[in-house]
Structure formats: C-alpha cells, structure tokens
Structure 1
Amino acid sequence: MEKITALASAFILPLSAYAAESVSKSAFENLIVATAPVLLIFFVLWAAIRLGAKKTNAVNERIVESNERIAKSLEELVTLIRNKEQQ
C-alpha cells in the first residue's frame, strides 16, 4: 500500500505543480509536461539498475569460479592429509 501511495504521489505532485499554467495550455500538453520528468527519472533509474545487475552477475560468476578453485584445492589437501595418515 505504501508503494502505491508513493507512486501516486510521484505522478500527482508534478501534475499539481503545473495546475496554475493549465489556463494557457491544453490538458494534454499539461499532462505531457507534468509526467515527462517523472517518466524520465524512472527510465534512468531502470537503466542504471539494469547496468548494475549485469556487472553484479559478472562479479558473482567470478566469485563462484574462485570458490570452485578453493574447493578443489581443499579436496586435494584433504586427500594428501589422508594419504599421510595412512602411511
């Protein structure tokens, strides 16, 4: 419910800011002028999140590869220790 209220406020506040100019412009022009900044901000944030997600995926893949190398090294170490204990 809070998210819906926040989104509604984000769209309504610019509309109310341009209400005083509504006399000189048509309603459609006012609607475009009022919502354009909000839509632009949402698009920029969406693009930034998408870019960040791609970088995060690359980092996660490198971490997984590193963890696999560490696991192999630990398995080899355990095997060496067991062989020494048996001798």
Structure 2
Amino acid sequence: MNKAIAVTSALALPFSAYAAEAASKSAIENLIIAAAPVVLIFFLMWAAIRLGAKKTNAVNERIVESNERIAKSLEELVAILRKKEQE
C-alpha cells in the first residue's frame, strides 16, 4: 500500500508542478500552450494530405491513360467484329 502511495505521489508531482506554473501564467499564455499541439497536428495532417494528393493525382493520370488505351483497343475490336459480321 505504501509503495502504491509513493508511486502515485511520484507520478503526481510533475502534474502539480505544471499546475503551479500554469497558475502563474495568464489565460492567453495557457491558451496558446494548450492550442499549440492541436495546431501542429492539424498542420502535419494538412501537409501529409497535400503530399498524398500529389501522388494520387499521378496515379489517377496513369489510370486515365490506361483506360484510354483500353477504350481504343475495344473500339478496334468492335470495328473488326462489325467487318466480320458484314462479310
């Protein structure tokens, strides 16, 4: 039991020090400190999405080109089949 109390109090010391330090700061400073990780995460996610979108666009262009080649081949096959039907 004593070990649990000692571990709990040891883990709570940094939180109490942070609370004491936060009480001495203004509300604006606390807001900026609290919002900084959220803004950083949003920025990193935005950057990752932008990089992913560029790669996705390149893949989409290759798919479109492939689909155009397939469509052209199918048109040629249809033309050949129509010629054979007419003969």
What TM-score results when the alignment is normalised by the length of structure 1?
0.69
Measured on the aligned residues, the alpha-carbon RMSD in Å equals 1.7
Unpaired runs of at least 5, structure 1? 1-17
CA distance in 2, matches of 1:52, 1:76: 36
Identity %: 81
Higher relative contact order (CA 8 A, sep 6+): 1
Deviations 1:16-53 (A, max 9, x none): xx766431222222122111000000101111111111
1:79 positional shift? 0.7
SS in 2 for 1:33: helix
Q: How do residues 28-67 of structure 1 correspond to structure 2 at under 5 angstroms?
A: 28-67=28-67
Q: 1:22 to 1:49 in 2, by over 3 A?
A: same
Give the greater-gyration-radius structure (CA): 2
What TM-score results when the alignment is normalised by the length of structure 2?
0.69
CA distance in 2, matches of 1:26, 1:39: 20
Q: 1:41 to 1:66 in 2, by over 3 A?
A: same
Q: 1:20 to 1:63 in 2, by over 3 A?
A: farther
Q: How many pairs are equivalent?
A: 70
